[in-house]
Copies of this chain bind each other. A is one copy, B any other.
C-alpha cells in the first residue's frame, strides 16, 4: 500500500509547506505581515485550504513556537555543554538564550510575548517531554548544580525562574524598545549576567 503512504507524505508535505511559508513571512515581514491570505498566496493555495491542515492561525503559531523552542533547546544545551565549571555552563546557557532571542526577534515575540499564550494554553507547550519542558529542566539542573557548589540555601526553582526572568527582560526590552539609548549591547548583556550570577553568591560565604 505505497499509495496511501504517498498521499500521507503529500499531505504532510503541504502541512510543512504552510509552516515553512509562515516562518518565511515572519522572518521577512515580521509578525504584522503574517496573515492567512499571505500564507495561502505563498503556497499557491486558497486561504481556506489552510484550515484543512490547521485548526486556525493560532495552531500555526503554536507549531512555530514548538519549532523555535526545539532549536533554542539545541543551541542552549550545546552552549551549556562546552565544558567548564557548572557556573560557566549556566552562564553560557543564559548567554545563548539571549543571543537566540535577539537573533530572531519576531520568533521570540510570538513564543514569549504575543497574546498567543492566552489562547494556546501554555500547558500544551510545556507538556512533559516537549522542548520547552526539556529547556526548563536543563536550566533547573544547571541552577541546582551551581547552588550546590556555592552552598547556597536558595530554592533552585525560584532561582531558575528568577534567572529566566532576568534574561527574558534583557531580550524583551532590547526587542521592544530598539530605539532607546542603550549602552553597548555586549556590555549590557555581560553586566546583566554578572549581576544575576554574582547575586547567587551568599553574602556570608564570601
Contact = CB atoms under 8 A, between A and B. Distances in A.
23 contacts: A32-B115, A113-B113, A113-B176, A117-B176, A122-B179, A123-B179, A158-B191, A159-B195, A161-B173, A162-B192, A162-B195, A164-B173, A165-B169, A165-B192, A166-B166, A166-B192, A166-B196, A168-B172, A168-B173, A172-B172, A195-B199, A201-B203, A206-B206
A82 to B, nearest CB: 24
A87 interface: no
B122 A191 contact: no
Given A32-B115, A121-B179, A122-B179, A154 B191 contact: yes
Interface stretch (A9-17, A35-43, A45-53, A181-189): A181-189
B187 A158 contact: yes
Contacts of A182: 161
A198 interface: yes
A203 B198 contact: yes
A12 B32 CA distance: 33
A144 B27 CA distance: 40
Given A122-B179, A162-B188, 20 more contacts: A112-B173, A112-B176, A113-B172, A117-B176, A126-B180, A157-B183, A158-B183, A159-B191, A162-B192, A164-B169, A164-B173, A165-B173, A165-B192, A166-B192, A166-B196, A167-B169, A169-B169, A169-B170, A198-B199, A203-B206
Contacts of A123: 179
Interface in A28-83: 31-32
A197 interface: yes
Q: Which of A113, A163, A195, A198 has the most CB of B within 10 A?
A: A195
Q: Which of A117, A122, A173, A187 has the most CB of B within 10 A?
A: A173
Nearest to A180: B122
A194 interface: yes
